[in-house]
Amino acid sequence: MTTQSNTPAGWYPDPQGATQLLRWWDGTQWTDHTDAAPQGTQAAPAAPPADPAKVQRQVQQQAGVAPAAQGGGSLFSEPVLVVNQKAKLIELTNEYSVMDQSGNQLGSVVQVGQSTLKKVARFVASVDQFMTHKLEIRDAHGTPQLLMTRPRKFLKSRVVVERPDGQVVGEIVQQNVFGKINFAMNADGVQVGAIKAENWRAWNFSIVDHTDTEVARITKTWEGLAKTMFTTADNYVLQIHFQLPDPLLSLVVATALTVDTALKQDSRGLG
């Protein structure tokens, strides 16, 4: 299959689903060349290229976001980010692909530091919210850009956002337990913005700055009833209304790319 993509050439997990098999992507299309993944190593994190027409339909028809001018081609410079979780019937790890509005791969979100025991615990019991979660946001080359850590919790979530070198960007802190969920985005002890669920099911979010002006919006897009019922895969479109300064920009991107795992996970109990 040939498609438009900025995913670099390299060995990636076989899109045909073969376990522990890598297939060569030449930068334009999948080839017939395969190789076994080295023992004890992890395949490259970038997801197989998406169907541009499907992504554009998701953005424009499902999310209702009008086409915008192309940005700088990175996670932090595009006005529209499309976040699609890989649908897996048994959700033991969280992995997302991130694209621009045309379907070009910009990066990925991968859960890291999770032991086999923890994966099994996630499967046999609903104990996700009592575990510490770590997610890496990576660019199209697999280079870490941000690290998000959600410590184990009882009622309210708190997510710490860091640079790859360990520098803390800020925190995303749940403000309430009941009703429409709200989160504060804090940096250096000062609130720089907030994430506000638009309804009690927390499907869509409005992101505002410290003046309560909306700067971005997260819209959930559905892949069909059956897929939604039998998997926990969630797809989102993030629309950033204008170029934001840091640390607000990094916190907005981190929020959008991990909203299901880091922020909305236990809202399933509210629905």
C-alpha 133/C-alpha 36 separation (Å) is 29
- The domains of the chain are located at 1-44, 46-269
Under CATH, to which class is 46-269 assigned?
mainly beta
pLDDT at 131: 61
Assign 3-class secondary structure to 21-50.
EEEEECCCEEEEEEEECCCCCCCCCCCCCC
Judge contact between 182 and 175, C-beta under 8 A: yes
**Percent of the chain scored above 90 by pLDDT?**
28
Highest average pLDDT, of 92-96, 107-111, 186-190, 232-236, comes from 186-190
pLDDT at 244: 94
**Beta bridge mates, 152:** none
Tens digits of residue pLDDT in 34-68: 777 655 444 444 445 567 888 888 899 888 888 88
Structure tokens at 81: 């980010």
Q: Characterise 64 by phi-psi region: left (phi > 0), alpha (psi -120 to 50), beta (else).
A: left
Tens digits of residue pLDDT in 213-224: 999 999 988 655
- Lowest-pLDDT range, 43-52, 68-77, 104-113, 114-123? 114-123
For 99, counting Cβ atoms within 10 Å of its Cβ (0-12 exposed, 13-18 middle, 19+ buried), the class is buried
The band of 74, judged by pLDDT with boundaries at 50, 70 and 90, is: very high
pLDDT at 96: 81
pLDDT at 270: 32
The band of 89, judged by pLDDT with boundaries at 50, 70 and 90, is: very low
pLDDT at 23: 74
pLDDT at 255: 86
